């Protein structure tokens, strides 16, 4: 029998696993699945990196032992970075040599000079090639600087070079929200080869964060074609995060279609998808496993099934009948529980017991809210923060990064102009402040899209966000003294792409935890933010907690609550607690969000959602409450959801 665990388990705070990948998460047999491509589901994205890098390392060594060259097809973006870091570690610690490896990259923006911060050429050298012993002449990356009248010859030669190398042994892929592999956008045919292609609007919007605005994203790219990719002897596609769940399901369970290039991988016998729990969440065997096989009815799975039935049948939970259970393939659930009334009542009471108003929240306790950016606190948990303030808790809001890359240059110009005017009116040090303004304006005038800001501009952007954060928490009743700005080093690259979480980051978090000894902490648990900062901040807290428990016998592990909000909300079936928010509390929460003026109207990193953050919050909090109402529980104005580890 198949066993399915709740997707929330993937988000539990823990040290990244060092044990082998659990066998039960490997691809099931096709008799119990609708998947047309083998899918390996692992608990965490770090596990994917170790698994795929180990396979690449084995292949490289095998080819070397045979006196042959190993030909790798490589991808770029945030997903494969973990694989590259693990390959670098294997080269350093396990003597994995790349002397006899030849590589071909999937794609490159056009036009794009190779030394640009956006160039995949630069990305590959910074993230892999400069750290291993590969021969430069064995590296092949499409050129984004070739003259347009030479493009046909360039792409033809790229195909010829792959053929001369003997074809690609192992092709690494990511997947875009349109289902593109490489830059094979909707409409790419199965016979397509390396060529120039116009980028889809969704792809360009996804890339907007890296380019500091969609308007700066190139409209074209050079990419290997679908046929070029399918010619590889082995293919591994990597996907992580909730935002990839829908397209993963479409690619592996849907019909082959030119509008989703990844579906052509169904024709390749050597393809495997490697996904984390979040990206696998919509696969039928995980989302609704009772539709394809007999299941073991755990409490979590029972809850999910009954809520699914209620929503699918359009009935409140207590109105579901035995006929409903039979019609929707859930008769085995009734066989375990007895009658429809029995299971209906069980789930109704389970959900009802998760509703926790102010009177059921802690009071007089020490609490830390870890906020990845200087607005995630009020966006995601402004409602409960207000309740915890009223309950007279000792609250510290720890802003883990400066968030300075998410401030527009025009905001900097406005603020330095304000400083000069203030200096003149208040008879402050006008020459010094005017000098700051001139340096800043001169830098911004020469700055190109995506350039790293000067240290001075980065500091100004940091201060802007800090001031907004203080104003935000003051709106919900906290003192400015409650704000702590950790400014973790991993974030201080000045670029969208950050460094890995290191010892210095963990030590800063540990110092705060040791100093305050909190009874309860809140941590961002959403894994779909466009730049990965939430995931990395969560990792820093996880590691800090684990190390403290080992190092300090007097340290007591606090209760950990995971929140979401900026990118999605916890489903009611996964939430440990559902916290009602009144109309006045939601209004106050939105007012606190408004204090983050640099993020209002048009935030630099909005993701695929066109709505402002306050609009997303308003809709999601109301929808959570409305869903409970449709399920037949008490009606509330709005709700926030939390998962307690």
* Residue 582 φ then ψ, to 5°: -75, 170
Nearest-angstrom CA–CA distance, 489 and 499: 8
The span from the CA of 585 to the CA of 568, in Å, is: 20
Instruction: Say what the pTM is.
Output: 0.85
Place of tokens 């966006």: 379
Nearest to 545 by CA among 46, 14, 16: 14
Tell me the pairing of strands 234-239 and 220-223: unpaired
Q: How far apart are CA 11 and CA 645, in angstroms?
A: 9
**Is 185 assigned a catalytic role?**
yes
Q: Which of 86, 185, 253, 466 is catalytic?
A: 185
pLDDT for residue 215: 83
The pair of three-digit structure tokens given for residue 203, joined into one six-digit string: 């792809």
Report whether CATH 1.10.520.10 matches the domain 34-285: no
Cα separation, 595 vs 467, whole angstroms: 9
- Residue 602 CB contacts under 8 Å (≥ 6 apart), including other chains: none
Question: Do 34-285 and 358-406+463-644 fold alike per CATH?
Answer: yes
pLDDT score recorded for residue 137 = 98
Give every CB contact of residue 105 below 8 A, 6+ residues apart in sequence: 73, 74, 75, 76, 120, 124, 140, 141, 142
The pLDDT, as a whole number, for residue 448 is 83
Residue 261's closest CA among 338, 211, 190? 190
**Domain residue spans of the chain:** 34-285, 297-353, 358-406+463-644
Number of H helices, E strands in the chain: 20, 17
Beta strands, E only, 69-127 = 70-74, 101-105, 107-110
Which distant-in-sequence residues (6+ apart) come within 8 Å of 254 by Cβ?
Answer: 260, 263
C-alpha to C-alpha distance for 498 and 123, rounded to whole angstroms: 13
Residues 578, 579, 580: CA angle, nearest 5 degrees = 115
Of 112, 158, 163, give the one whose Cα is nearest residue 139: 158
Architecture of domain 358-406+463-644: 3-Layer(aba) Sandwich (3.40)
Residues 6+ apart with CB under 8 A from 5: 298, 300
- Provide block-wise average pLDDT over 10 residues at a time, the chain (645 residues): 37 33 43 84 90 98 97 93 96 97 97 92 96 98 97 98 98 94 94 95 79 84 98 97 92 96 98 94 95 94 98 98 96 93 97 97 98 96 98 98 93 95 94 96 89 94 98 98 97 84 97 98 81 89 97 96 88 97 97 94 62 91 97 97 96
For residues 195 and 222, the answer to whether their CB atoms sit within 8 Å is yes
Count of C-beta atoms within a 10 Å radius of residue 585? 24
CA-closest candidate to residue 522, choices 639, 402, 638, 643: 643
Among the listed residues 557, 281, 536, 520, the one whose alpha carbon sits nearest the alpha carbon of residue 381: 520
C-alpha–C-alpha distance, residues 516 and 114, integer Å: 48
Q: Which of 361, 388, 364 is nearest to 473 (CA)?
A: 388
Calpha distance 414→419 (Å, rounded): 9
The predicted structure's pLDDT at residue 305? 98
Structure tokens at 553: 């016998």
């Amino acid at each position: 029998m198949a066993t399915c665990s709740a997707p929330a388990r993937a988000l539990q705070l823990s040290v990244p696993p060092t044990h082998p990948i659990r066998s039960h998460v490997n691809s099931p047999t096709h008799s119990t699945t609708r998947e047309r491509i083998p899918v390996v589901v692992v608990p965490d994205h770090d596990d994917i990196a170790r698994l795929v890098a180990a396979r690449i390392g084995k292949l490289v060594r095998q080819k070397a032992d045979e006196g042959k060259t190993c030909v790798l097809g490589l991808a770029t973006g945030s997903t494969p970075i973990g694989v590259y870091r693990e390959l670098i570690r294997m080269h350093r610690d396990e003597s994995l040599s790349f002397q006899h490896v030849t590589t071909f990259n999937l794609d490159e923006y056009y036009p794009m000079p190779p030394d640009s911060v956006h160039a995949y050429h630069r990305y590959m050298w910074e993230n892999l090639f400069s750290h291993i012993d590969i021969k430069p002449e064995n590296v092949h990356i499409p050129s984004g600087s070739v003259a347009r009248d030479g493009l046909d010859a360039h792409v033809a030669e790229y195909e010829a070079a792959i053929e001369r190398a003997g074809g690609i042994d192992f092709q690494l892929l990511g997947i875009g929200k349109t289902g593109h592999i490489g830059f094979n956008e909707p409409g790419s045919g199965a016979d397509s080869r390396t060529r120039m292609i116009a980028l889809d609007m969704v792809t360009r919007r996804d890339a907007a964060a890296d380019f500091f605005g969609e308007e700066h994203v190139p409209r074209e790219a050079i990419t290997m074609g679908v046929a070029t990719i399918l010619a590889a002897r082995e293919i591994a596609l990597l996907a992580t995060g909730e935002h990839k769940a829908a397209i993963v399901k479409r690619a592996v369970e849907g019909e082959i279609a030119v509008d989703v290039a990844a579906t052509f991988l169904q024709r390749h016998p050597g393809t495997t998808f490697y996904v984390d729990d979040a990206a696998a969440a919509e696969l039928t065997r995980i989302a609704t496993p009772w539709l394809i096989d007999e299941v073991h009815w755990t409490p979590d799975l029972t809850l999910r099934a009954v809520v699914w039935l209620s929503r699918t049948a359009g009935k409140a939970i207590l109105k579901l009948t035995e006929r409903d259970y039979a019609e929707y393939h859930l008769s085995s659930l009734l066989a375990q529980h007895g009658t429809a009334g029995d299971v209906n009542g069980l789930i109704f009471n389970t959900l009802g017991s998760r509703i926790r108003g102010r009177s059921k929240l802690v009071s007089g306790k020490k609490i830390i809210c870890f906020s990845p950016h200087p607005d995630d606190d009020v966006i995601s948990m402004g409602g409960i923060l207000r309740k915890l303030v009223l309950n007279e808790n000792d609250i510290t809001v720890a802003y883990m990064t400066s968030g300075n890359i998410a401030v527009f240059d025009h905001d900097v110009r406005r603020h330095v102009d304000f400083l000069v005017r203030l200096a003149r009116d208040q008879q402050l040090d006008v020459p010094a402040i005017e000098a700051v303004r001139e340096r800043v304006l001169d830098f911004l005038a020469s700055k190109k899209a995506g350039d790293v800001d000067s240290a001075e501009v980065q500091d100004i952007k940091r201060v802007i966000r800090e001031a907004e954060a203080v104003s935000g928490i003051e709106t919900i009743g906290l003192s400015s003294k409650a704000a702590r700005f950790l400014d973790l080093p991993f974030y201080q690259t000045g670029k969208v792409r950050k460094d890995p979480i290191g010892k210095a980051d963990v030590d800063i978090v540990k110092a705060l935890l040791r100093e305050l000894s909190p009874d309860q902490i809140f941590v961002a648990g959403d894994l779909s933010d466009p730049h990965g900062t939430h995931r990395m901040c969560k990792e820093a807290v996880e590691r800090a907690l684990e190390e403290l428990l080992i190092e300090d016998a007097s340290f007591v592990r606090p209760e950990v609550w995971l929140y979401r909000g900026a990118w999605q909300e916890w489903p009611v079936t996964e939430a440990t607690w559902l916290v009602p928010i009144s109309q006045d509390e939601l209004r106050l929460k939105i007012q606190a969000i408004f204090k983050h003026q640099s993020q209002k109207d048009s935030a630099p990193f909005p993701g695929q959602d066109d709505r402002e953050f306050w609009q997303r919050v308003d809709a999601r909090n109301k929808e959570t409450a409305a869903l409970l109402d449709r399920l037949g529980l008490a009606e509330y104005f709005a709700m926030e959801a939390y998962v307690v580890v």
